[in-house]
Amino acid sequence: MRKMIYTFLMLLSISSIVGADEHEKIFVVERENSALAVINHNLKTNEIKNMHNFNHAVVKFRGKDGYVITRDGYVIKFNPITEKKLKEYRTSKSAIGFIIGKNFLAVANYDNKTVEILDRNLNPLQSIKTNSRNVGIKLYKNYLVFACMDTNEIWVMKDVKAKAKLPKFVLYKKFTNIGKVPFDALIDKNLYVVGLFNSPDIGVINLDTMKYKKVPLKLGKKERILKVPHFGFWSVSKGYFFIPAVGNEKVFVFDHKFNYITSINVEGNPVFTALSPDKKWLAVTFSGKKFPYVQIIDTKTLKIIRTFKFPGWILHVRWSNDTKHLYFSVNTANEVLAYNVSNKNPLKWWKQYMWPVPKSSGIFLYDSKTQK
């Protein structure tokens, strides 16, 4: 009996250790340091170094793998659990976005005007020459979709070896004259939605019917834009698409059929719009002189509930999926802040943690529970 109790207690303690480790780990791009800071259990515990040019670096996870692309075109594979860099491969002189498939990575490049396909261990498989800088790379079923910034096109590539060990993409459909200067995109179910920098529209492809339509935006007079909005962060709630205006102090609201609902006047030219996990709140960041501000919008009333002003430029925000926190990357103050957002009233949200991170930029979350 004693032996059984002992065994039970041992198993309980092991499971609690495993469980304790299954939590959200925060990775923060140190923009000027070629390093990825690690925040674990509310402490900055590590820096993964030698990450090349980390301006505009993007981190993504799939399963137990972490990947980064860098401004100077490297793809780096790392282990988010051991926090070790595993491998790197240079796809171009300047990369902007990537997507992780089950058995491949697709990297959209600026400088050498290609989309590069690699296997999950970063061995090159295919180079797709587009004659353009490429943005807004997304996956839908067996399709790889991206927009060509310099030629105003959207390419839909089809994986003709979808059931094989490795993919082989061929051009399935090319949309031309989509509007001027596509710069980023989001995907929501079968809708690929692209932002157009020099047209007063957004473009929408229904990937089931392969039909394209433009949705006009009531932009008004375009102001000077000092940072291109990140439309990959467009927020999609149950009822609405929230879309940051290009060069205007507005967030547009559309329903899921892209009927215009309203526009919300905000503090400055928006960069990121990020929905809370419960979809109740939308955090909006800004550029130019309004970099220090973040506004919180109630997604039910579409009213601004709180305006934060920080002692530095906010380059990124991220809602925790694991705890009731909203993280702010305060680049010029060299810190990441965690606000406790457990109160139903955003006016009562409070600063709970501060972590020193030099020239902090993008915040990315790894949770082994959700990656299983």
Partner 1 sequence: MKTIFLCSMAVVLSTSTLFAHESAGKRLFQEYCWGCHHETAMAFGPSFESIANKRSRAEVMAQIADPDATYKSLGYKTNSMPAFSDLNSSELESLTDYIYKFKDKK
Draw the binding track, 120-159, toward partner 1 (x: CB under 8 A; -: no contact): -------------x----------------x---------
Q: Which burial class, exposed, middle or buried, applies to 185 when counting CB atoms under 10 A from its CB (0-12, 13-18, 19+)? A: buried
> Considering the complex, what minimum distance in angstroms separates the CB of residue 304 from partner 1?
23
Contact stretch for partner 1 (CB under 8 A) within 7-15, 171-179, 220-228, 259-267: 220-228
Closer of 96 and 193 to partner 1 (Cβ): 96
- Of the candidates 173, 169, 131, 174, the one whose C-alpha atom is nearest the C-alpha of residue 149 is 131
Closer of 53 and 323 to partner 1 (Cβ): 53
228 binds partner 1, rule: CB under 8 A: yes
Closer of 182 and 346 to partner 1 (Cβ): 182
CB-based contacts of 194, cutoff 8 Å, min separation 6 = 136, 147, 154, 178, 179, 182, 184, 185, 202, 203, 204, 205, 231
201 binds partner 1, rule: CB under 8 A: no
91 binds partner 1, rule: CB under 8 A: no
CB-based contacts of 159, cutoff 8 Å, min separation 6 = 142, 143, 144, 167, 168, 169
220 binds partner 1, rule: CB under 8 A: no
Q: How far apart are CA 133 and CA 269, in angstroms?
A: 24
Tokens found for residue 308: 């934060």
Exactly one of 54, 110, 169, 242 binds partner 1 (CB under 8 A); which one?
110
Contact at 8 Å (CB) between 243 and 234?
yes
Contact stretch for partner 1 (CB under 8 A) within 61-69, 178-186, 187-195, 236-244: 178-186
> Considering the complex, what minimum distance in angstroms separates the CB of residue 367 from partner 1?
30
Exactly one of 183, 254, 308, 328 binds partner 1 (CB under 8 A); which one?
183
Exactly one of 86, 100, 225, 305 binds partner 1 (CB under 8 A); which one?
225
Number of residues that bind partner 1 (CB under 8 A): 24
Tokens found for residue 249: 């102090």
Q: Determine the length of the chain.
A: 372
88 binds partner 1, rule: CB under 8 A: no
User: Which residue is associated with the tokens 């690690």?
Assistant: 38
Q: How far apart are CA 249 and CA 223, in angstroms?
A: 9
CA angle, 38 as apex, 75 and 67 as ends, to 5°?
20
Tokens found for residue 130: 């587009």
> Considering the complex, what minimum distance in angstroms separates the CB of residue 198 from partner 1?
6
- Footprint of partner 1 on this chain (CB under 8 A)? 53, 55-56, 71-73, 93-94, 96, 110-111, 133, 150, 180-181, 183, 197-198, 224-228, 287
